[in-house]
Chains A and B, each alone.
Chain A
Amino acid sequence: EAGVVQSPRYKIIEKKQPVAFWCNPISGHNTLYWYLQNLGQGPELLIRYENEEAVDDSQLPKDRFSAERLKGVDSTLKIQPAELGDSAVYLCASSLRASTEAFFGQGTRLTVV
């Protein structure tokens, strides 16, 4: 069975441009997480979904970041407009439900120039 799939793997954009990341979680997993990871730091939670509901988006910078999880399956994370400081790896993870083993994708490495 395929794990968590993220695309693209790498993205380079100019500042002020929009960018979107896509995540396909493991089939049947109700919980989906988006994280941001800067070099040398642990992953920082941006948002957690339970099915299609965002149950915790308190760390999501809502002025420029948005996320959606239509039909409680795939999810998209968008940044508009991107800033230089947004350069990081964006990780998606899924689990059967919160508090169970989470599986992570390979991440999308974003470079804003």
Chain B
Amino acid sequence: DAKTTQPNSMESNEEEPVHLPCNHSTISGTDYIHWYRQLPSQGPEYVIHGLTSNVNNRMASLAIAEDRKSSTLILHRATLRDAAVYYCILLPYGGSQGNLIFGKGTKLSVKP
């Protein structure tokens, strides 16, 4: 399973945008970039995923570098509820391949 690297922690102010980086220099051509987050005392929840193009959904945006060796999860207006650990994970496309492997993630703190 290809590896990802994320900062251990980040801080943000409420209602400001947050950019959470992820490096994945060994990504293969068939790997999707997935983001999950884990709120305190809860199981992880899916946030977003993408392959090459930038992606948007109601929770966040995912910006993927042209060479796909890095990506950035963007929370457009952080709220206190966004305080969580964010995980960047690579998963091969399709079939029954690949495991959802979590690293240490980035702990995001949001200040009021």
- Is the pair B104, A42 in contact by a Cβ cutoff of 8 Å? yes
Q: With contacts A45-B99, A106-B42 known, is A99 near B105, CB below 8 A?
A: no
Size class of the A contact interface (CB-based, 8 Å): 20 to 34
Q: With contacts A42-B104, A42-B105, A45-B99 known, is A101 near B49, CB below 8 A?
A: yes
Encode contact with B along A31-48: 1 for CB under 8 Å, 0 otherwise. Answer: 101010000011111001
Verify if A105 is at the interface (C-beta below 8 Å from B). Answer: yes
Instruction: Report B-chain residues with C-beta under 8 Å of the C-beta of A50.
Output: 96
Query: Which stretch in B11-19, B64-72, B73-81, B86-94 binds the other chain?
Result: B86-94
A41 to B107 alpha-carbon distance, docked (Å): 11
Size class of the B contact interface (CB-based, 8 Å): 20 to 34
| Interface hub of A4, A50, A98, A103 (most chain B Cβ within 10 A) | A98
- Is the pair A98, B103 in contact by a Cβ cutoff of 8 Å? no
Verify if A14 is at the interface (C-beta below 8 Å from B). Answer: no
| Interface hub of A55, A104, A106 (most chain B Cβ within 10 A) | A104
A4 to B98 alpha-carbon distance, docked (Å): 21
Verify if B10 is at the interface (C-beta below 8 Å from A). Answer: no
Contacts A45-B101, A56-B99, A104-B44 supplied; 7 other A-B pairs, CB < 8 Å: A43-B102, A97-B95, A98-B96, A99-B98, A103-B46, A104-B43, A104-B45
Query: Shortest 10 CB-CB distances between A and B: which pairs?
Result: A104-B43, A42-B102, A101-B46, A99-B91, A43-B102, A50-B96, A98-B96, A104-B44, A91-B43, A45-B99
